[in-house]
């Protein structure tokens, strides 16, 4: 029997609805809207789509959206100056600089310049360190969204065997830290892992974030395991799909026959990322304004 489909789109809609209610309450208590500033450098088409979507959803949730679109040849000095200005702006609670940046700009310098208290992407070394030692901070949006989907599906994760495929700072490493904090036994697998199929096969939870189309096969999956597919890859165009088909890092057709539950691509993890970004922004707003808030409600 095929496994259950984890509907990330529906979960994200519910999360945004809760955010909208909390954002309206924040505005009453603080006398202003929670604010998210998004900075886009250059004309990357995919980045433009993301930024437009983030701005639209920010406003729909009752928060203020501040967009800064800079030319491709903007200097690193000017970009850092803008970030410092946003750090000092009391109307801005969260700052997101859309990646990737043009080659002449050092991404690490940019991330390091964002105030950790406004780093709603969770990439700053201070927030990474806080996550690793179990202190409150901001967690990268995609892994936090994955954790929300897992807990919604499984309840307690304590004692479960989890394998995270991929070791990036954006998904793999923070995902492993989050699962450790939930008392999972965690293995971080990657391109150098020996006998990867066998490592994956023992896992109750598989999080695939490696960036290789349909790499994880159904035969790798332990029967009944929960599979979270973070990957988004566009296959070459075919006559049936002239734009190219979007697929994840998991071979969905074979994996759904074995897994207990699985996220689809698209419609799984993807919608969670922006929803969690809005959640992080609202949390930042409450902290910055000194307004009491039960963060677990989101």
Q: 40 - beta bridge partners?
A: 69
Say how far apart CA 18 and CA 118 lie, in whole Å.
21
HSE on the CB side for 2, CA within 13 Å? 9
Alpha-carbon distances of 177 from 30, 121, 164, 182, 208, rounded to whole Å: 33, 16, 10, 9, 15
Using pLDDT thresholds of 50, 70 and 90, give the confidence band for residue 151. Answer: very high
Domain ranges of the chain: 29-115, 141-270
The listed CATH number (3.40.50.300, 3.40.50.10860, 3.60.15.10, 3.40.50.2300) that belongs to domain 29-115: 3.40.50.10860
**What are φ and ψ of residue 67, in 5° steps?**
-105, 135
pLDDT per residue as tens digits for the range 205-253:
999 999 999 999 999 999 999 999 999 998 887 666 666 788 999 999 9
Segment 156-181, tens digit of pLDDT: 999 999 999 999 999 999 999 999 99
Q: Please give the pLDDT value at position 45.
A: 86
The pLDDT of residue 133 is 95
The CA R_g of the chain, rounded to the nearest whole Å, is 19
Average pLDDT value over all residues in the chain:
95
Residue 238 confidence (pLDDT)? 67
The pLDDT tens digits for 31-81 are: 999 999 999 999 888 889 889 999 999 999 999 999 999 999 999 999 999
Contact 161, 185 (CB under 8 A): yes
Query: Residue 68: helix, strand or coil by DSSP?
Result: strand
Residue 198 has pLDDT above 80, yes or no: yes
Q: What is the pLDDT of residue 189?
A: 97
Q: List, by residue number, the catalytic residues.
A: 54, 98, 121
Give me the residue label for tokens 């992407």.
121
pTM for the whole thing? 0.95
- Note whether 29-115 and 141-270 share their fold: yes
Beta bridge partners of 149: none
Q: How many CA atoms lie within 13 A of 58 on its CB side?
A: 26
Is CATH 3.40.309.10 what the domain over 141-270 is classified as, yes or no?
no
Token representation of residue 146: 């994955």
What percentage of the chain reaches a pLDDT higher than 70? 97
Please state, in angstroms and rounded to a whole number, the distance separating the CA atoms of residues 229 and 80. Answer: 34
Per-residue model confidence (pLDDT) at position 235:
85
User: For residues 204 and 247, what is the distance between their CA atoms, to the nearest angstrom?
Assistant: 22
DSSP for 90-126 reads TT--EEEEPSSPPTTS-HHHHHHHS-GGG-TT--SHH
User: Residue 260: pLDDT above 90?
Assistant: yes
Higher pLDDT pick, 238 / 153: 153
């Amino acid at each position: 029997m095929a496994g259950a489909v984890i509907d990330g789109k529906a979960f994200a809609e519910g999360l945004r609805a809760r955010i909208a209610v909390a954002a309206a309450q924040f505005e009453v208590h603080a006398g202003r809207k929670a604010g998210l500033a998004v900075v886009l450098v250059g004309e990357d088409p995919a980045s433009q789509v993301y930024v437009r979507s983030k701005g639209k959803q920010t406003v729909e949730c009752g928060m203020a959206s501040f967009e800064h679109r800079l030319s491709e040849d903007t200097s690193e000095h000017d970009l850092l100056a803008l970030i410092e200005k946003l750090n000092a702006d009391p109307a801005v609670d969260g700052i997101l600089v859309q990646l990737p940046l043009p080659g002449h700009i050092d991404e690490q310098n940019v991330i390091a310049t964002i105030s950790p208290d406004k780093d709603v992407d969770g990439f700053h070394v201070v927030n990474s360190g806080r996550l690793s030692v179990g202190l409150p901070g901001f967690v990268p949006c995609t892994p936090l969204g994955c954790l929300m989907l897992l807990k919604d599906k499984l309840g307690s994760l304590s004692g479960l065997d989890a394998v995270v495929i991929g070791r990036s700072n954006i998904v793999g490493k923070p995902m492993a830290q989050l699962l450790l904090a939930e008392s999972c036994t965690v293995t971080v697998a990657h391109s150098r892992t020996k006998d990867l199929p066998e490592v994956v096969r023992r896992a109750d939870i598989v999080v695939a974030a490696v960036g290789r189309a349909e790499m994880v096969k159904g035969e790798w999956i332990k029967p009944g395991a929960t599979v979270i597919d973070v990957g988004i890859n566009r296959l070459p165009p075919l006559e049936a799909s002239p734009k190219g088909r979007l697929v994840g890092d998991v071979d969905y057709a074979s994996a759904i026959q074995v897994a207990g539950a699985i996220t689809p691509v698209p419609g799984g993890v993807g919608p969670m990322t922006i929803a969690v970004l809005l959640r992080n922004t609202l949390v930042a707003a409450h902290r910055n304004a000194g307004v009491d808030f039960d963060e677990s409600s989101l």
